[in-house]
Structure 1
Amino acid sequence: MTAPASALGRALEAAFGPDFVVHHLSTEVVLRHLDPELLREHFSWRDLNEILSRGRVEPAELKLCTGGRSLPEHAYTVTRAGHRVVDLSRTFSLMWSGASLVIDSLDRIHPAVRAATDDVMRMVGETASCNLFVTFDDAQAFASHFDEVDTFVVQVLGTKSWQVHGPSEEHPLPEYGDSDPARCPQTVLFDRTLEPGDVIHVPRGWWHTVRGGGESSLHLTFAFTRRTGYDWLRWVAYRALDSADVRESLARAGTPEEQRAQAERLVTAFVNEAKGASLRDFFDAERRRSGGRDTAGLPWDVLTARPSSGTVVELTTVQPPLLEIRGDRLVLTAADQEFVLPAAHRAACEALVRARRVGLDELAGRAGAPPAAVSALVSALLRARLVTVSDSRAEAGEGWRAS
């Protein structure tokens, strides 16, 4: 396993503990508390003001919500120089009237939140994103609802009133489930006003009712999509493409007997493939496909010189890549690609995977290898976009602020 990238990621991992994923994930509401100052270092009103002042938040998505619905975009945006931008006067007027501000996929535009989101992925082993919610007074952005994803809700500033009611059906999916608010269970299992530093895990499919706590509130929701039996079935179906029966056109004009025979061949092909495909095979295949965010590391991305003493190497993959020894070669698998390296680089690669971010000199020391050899390895991984390199004097990026 690779180390967390951010102070917030390390704090979440420590607060929820090693048994959380095995015993509590997706099954119960869990409350923990983090240092409020740590949260403010990751995101604050200043960060939000910087984002809004830019006018555009792409590739994140900004919206205003009130009374359980999203307001039309034209209510709070205006066209300037051919671009649709946020009109702050309209936005603040709507928020004054009770609208809540939501920025979906905040991790795509904010480095510190991005690092923490990647750590959530490392912690739970699933794909994650982070949304921002800003509410004033006792405003309520959405009616009682459930999400088809599991979440960590992190109260950064102010307070927010939370009631969690539990599920109305087991394991809903975007493709399956009834989200009519009338189905919200009456029983309240968790009732608390979250204060700065509070973090709750809300399982997928558990209804919740949320409103402002009477003051300004800013919270982050880390949402992660767990793999389900449906994902495994689709993966098996894809693997079954090797069978000509699966690729054959369906007998739309065939007789009932011909259609039944074709359906039986399809079932046989699928079952035969499924018998040889375990859940572990599915997880390993997913890990082989797993890459990371496409991160820039100029000037090293373009320089022909090899990184030298004083540079910091950072692994870009979210999940640790697979490392295998095949004969006298080390095969590193990530982003659905295999990278073949001399087996002598095994110790350095293993040390990099464990540390995730480490100085080149320290990496050489941990691997017991000459710095020149480790520099050559880092150059190769840099060209493959598996690491990024920065000057050791550069900031780690955890406390991003307006420049």
Structure 2
Amino acid sequence: MSDRPALARCTSLPPEEFAERVWSREPSLSPAVELPRDFSDLLSLADVDALLSEQGLRTPFLRLAKDGQVVPERRWTSGGGVGATVGDQVRDERVAELFADGATVVLQALHRTHAPLARFAAALSGDLGHPVQVNAYVTPAQNQGFSSHYDLHDVFVLQVAGEKRWRLHPPVVTDPLRDDPWTDHRDAVERAAAAEPYLETVLRPGDALYVPRGWLHAATALGEVSAHLTVGVHVRTRAWLVEALTALVLDDPRLRQTLPLGVDVTAADDLAPHLAATVAALTERLPVVRADDVARRLTGAVLTGNRPAPLAPLAQAAAVASVGAGTVVRARVGLRTVLRDAGEGLRLVLPDRSIDWPDRVRASLQVLLGGDDVVVGELPDLAGDDAVQLVRRLLREGVVVPVPPAGPR
């Protein structure tokens, strides 16, 4: 577990300690001096300005909030002008006006629109085994974007610029699921947020804070513009496994049976015999479901849970055309794949398709998917054109990417 470089940027704790003591249990603060480097390579205030003014950004990739309320989109969007048949592009001058008036800028899904964060999110998702998204919050001095609330996912807060005071309170709902938002518990949240905080701290550039789902939090910018990244980790839960198990046993005729005409499911006496029959069927079926069956059921969701690192289409096409024995490639960061036996061969399962291969390429495929730089002519058990054809197909499918030659020293 020690080699998790993306996670090491988010916490100063060793991965083993973070996993055993902190993960999903309690907040954890990591000062900048205890982390490998700051986060200026991931996002800067200049990057924020470029995204807002030069990238043709559209909703829902941007939100504005003030005094705990979302600013209506009509106040800061308009049509894209001549030749752009869109009606929701960001008006940079309106954003500037609202920001100067105290609104927080929320850049959403930066793992889709900003290449450095796309690469980082892909790597962190691989380190954690859970899907990751990235938002940025840019708050004017002495302003608070959102009131105290809790999220339905874990969060790493990475402070990029300025200072922001954070107040954290223990959960009012333990390990909330997707159908349990904080707005359903507004009164309890407000009461809990009025108490003495579990943690109150000021984040400065390069500091990181981990907040498990359900923990109440609110943040206020201090004496200057503050910007932080919110890295949301959409954790997989055992409730997710329950959904997979349910889907796997629904072929049982007893569970597909229609309830009787006239049944009143709001009356316990009417419902009881049907509930008992359902529980009996589940009790019989669930113990014989194999882990392999559940794993196959979950494969599609796992492979599509996160977008892989960006791929340069023109460079990729050039690599397909020019691949040779001296070409160096590596597995595309963040692309989740599964390699399975399939009859007398292999099946490489990708997010939206699968590819069958003869068993003789097994060792080479395993090397190519391993993450290290690989020279085509040095692949095991394959020689000459066979190795070139294997890599050409993987380049065409976006599974591996070319590694540029090292520059002069």
- Find 1:142's aligned residue among 146, 149, 168: 146
> What do residues 77-118 of structure 1 show as CA deviations (whole Å, max 9, x unaligned)?
223435222222221111112110001111111111011112
Q: What is the DSSP-based 3-state SS (H/G/I as helix, E as strand, rest coil) of the residue aligned with 1:129?
A: strand
Name the Cα RMSD after superposition. 3.4
Query: Would the alpha carbon gap of residues 189 and 139 (structure 1) be closer, same or farther in structure 2, given more than 3 Å must change?
Result: same
Q: Is the 8 A contact 1:145 1:208 kept in 2?
A: yes
Q: What is the DSSP-based 3-state SS (H/G/I as helix, E as strand, rest coil) of the residue aligned with 2:169?
A: strand
CA distance in 2, matches of 1:372, 1:3: 35
Q: What is the DSSP-based 3-state SS (H/G/I as helix, E as strand, rest coil) of the residue aligned with 1:63?
A: strand
CA distance in 2, matches of 1:37, 1:304: 36
> What do residues 177-216 of structure 1 show as CA deviations (whole Å, max 9, x unaligned)?
5441323251322221111111111011011121102211
CA distance in 2, matches of 1:48, 1:96: 15
Query: Would the alpha carbon gap of residues 9 and 226 (structure 1) be closer, same or farther in structure 2, given more than 3 Å must change?
Result: closer
Query: Would the alpha carbon gap of residues 234 and 107 (structure 1) be closer, same or farther in structure 2, given more than 3 Å must change?
Result: same
2:370 corresponds to which residue?
Answer: 354
1:9 Cα shift?
5.5
2:288 corresponds to which residue?
Answer: 276
1:400 corresponds to which residue?
Answer: none
Q: Is the 8 A contact 1:125 1:319 kept in 2?
A: no
Q: What is the DSSP-based 3-state SS (H/G/I as helix, E as strand, rest coil) of the residue aligned with 2:346?
A: strand
Equivalent residue letter for 1:341: W
- Which stretch shows the higher mean deviation, 59-68 or 268-277? 268-277
1:375 corresponds to which residue?
Answer: 388
Equivalent residue letter for 2:192: C
- Find 1:27's aligned residue among 10, 15, 25: 25
Answer 1 or 2: higher relative contact order, Cα 8 Å, separation at least 6. Answer: 1
Q: Is the 8 A contact 2:264 2:270 kept in 1?
A: yes
Q: What is the DSSP-based 3-state SS (H/G/I as helix, E as strand, rest coil) of the residue aligned with 1:91?
A: helix
1:327 Cα shift?
7.0
- The unaligned stretches of length 5 or more in structure 1 are 396-403
Q: What is the DSSP-based 3-state SS (H/G/I as helix, E as strand, rest coil) of the residue aligned with 1:354?
A: coil
- The unaligned stretches of length 5 or more in structure 2 are none
1:316 Cα shift?
4.2
CA distance in 2, matches of 1:90, 1:394: 45
- Find 1:105's aligned residue among 106, 109, 132: 109
- Find 1:114's aligned residue among 115, 118, 121: 118
Q: Is the 8 A contact 1:8 1:42 kept in 2?
A: no
Mapping of 1:233-248 within 5 angstroms?
Answer: 233-248=242-257
1:265 Cα shift?
3.5
Equivalent residue letter for 1:269: A
Which structure features the higher share of strand residues?
1
Query: Would the alpha carbon gap of residues 31 and 370 (structure 1) be closer, same or farther in structure 2, given more than 3 Å must change?
Result: farther
CA distance in 1, matches of 2:317, 2:252: 43
Query: Would the alpha carbon gap of residues 269 and 307 (structure 1) be closer, same or farther in structure 2, given more than 3 Å must change?
Result: farther
Asked if 1:188 is matched to 2:203, the reply is no
2:43 corresponds to which residue?
Answer: 43
> What do residues 245-285 of structure 1 show as CA deviations (whole Å, max 9, x unaligned)?
33334434358998655444433333333223477864564
Q: Percent identity?
A: 25
Aligned length: 389
2:360 corresponds to which residue?
Answer: 344
Q: Is the 8 A contact 2:152 2:213 kept in 1?
A: yes
Query: Would the alpha carbon gap of residues 315 and 16 (structure 1) be closer, same or farther in structure 2, given more than 3 Å must change?
Result: same
Q: Is the 8 A contact 1:64 1:101 kept in 2?
A: yes
Q: TM-score, normalised by structure 2?
A: 0.82
Equivalent residue letter for 1:183: R
- Find 1:389's aligned residue among 397, 401, 405: 401
CA distance in 1, matches of 2:12, 2:359: 35
CA distance in 1, matches of 2:59, 2:75: 20
Asked if 1:266 is matched to 2:270, the reply is no
> What do residues 48-80 of structure 1 show as CA deviations (whole Å, max 9, x unaligned)?
122111364247520111111101111222234
Q: Is the 8 A contact 2:361 2:381 kept in 1?
A: no
CA distance in 1, matches of 2:406, 2:303: 24
